[in-house]
Amino acid sequence: IIVIECSIDDYPAEHLSFLGPAILDKGALDFAIIPTTTKKGRQGMILQILSLPDKASVLSSLILKETTTLGVRYRKEFRTILERKFYTLETSLGKIKIKLALDNNGNIIKAKPEQSEIDRISKQHNKSYFETYKYLDYCTQK
């Protein structure tokens, strides 16, 4: 994968709500905004994007166009990832989609409800997000 990074110390934090979805829409695998201290002791952030090589140019252009940074850094990195599959689990609150993580032999080693599913179920049953998460997390551990 390609890691694209830049440091930003003069970009309004409220604009980050626009930037994240735009990064994902342009094909990023993931992104992180990491608090940091920049030159002259200013508070800032490191914007870090994980990308496939063929998306790096498009993502860099987006960052240069939509933020105040004057440059971006690239580096190639290797990663190991688990195979993922989705499964629909029947619970007392209804059906919910969970994400399964599998090892190289196809064994389930992690199971987790999707955030959007927790949100949907909690609203549907007028329960708190946290209460619903705890219940669904319990269901996935069985």
* DSSP per position, 44-71: EEEEEEEE-GGGHHHHHHHHHHHSS-S-
pLDDT of res. 12: 83
Instruction: Give the span between the Cα atoms of 40 and 109, in whole angstroms.
Output: 46
State the DSSP H helix or E strand holding residue 35, giving kind and residue range, or none if neither: strand 30-37
The residue-averaged pLDDT of 114-142 equals 87
Confidence of residue 24 (pLDDT cuts 50, 70, 90): very high
Looking at every residue in the chain, the average pLDDT score rounds to: 92
- Using the structure block, give the residue that is written with the tokens 């140019």: 57
pLDDT of res. 17: 80
| 13 has a pLDDT exceeding 80 | no
Return the number of other C-beta atoms located less than 10 Å from residue 127's C-beta. Answer: 15
The residue-averaged pLDDT of 82-94 equals 91
- Using the structure block, give the residue that is written with the tokens 């708190």: 128
Confidence of residue 7 (pLDDT cuts 50, 70, 90): very high
What percent of the chain has a predicted confidence (pLDDT) above 70?
Answer: 99
Instruction: Give the span between the Cα atoms of 102 and 104, in whole angstroms.
Output: 7
Task: Give the distance between the most distant pair of CA atoms in the chain.
Answer: 56
The residue-averaged pLDDT of 14-29 equals 91
Return the number of other C-beta atoms located less than 10 Å from residue 63's C-beta. Answer: 23
Return the number of other C-beta atoms located less than 10 Å from residue 89's C-beta. Answer: 17
Task: Read off the pLDDT of residues 66-82 as tens digits, 9 standing for 90 and up.
Answer: 999 999 999 999 999 99
| 11 has a pLDDT exceeding 80 | yes
Instruction: Give the span between the Cα atoms of 108 and 106, in whole angstroms.
Output: 6
DSSP 3-state assignment of 44? strand
| 142 has a pLDDT exceeding 70 | no
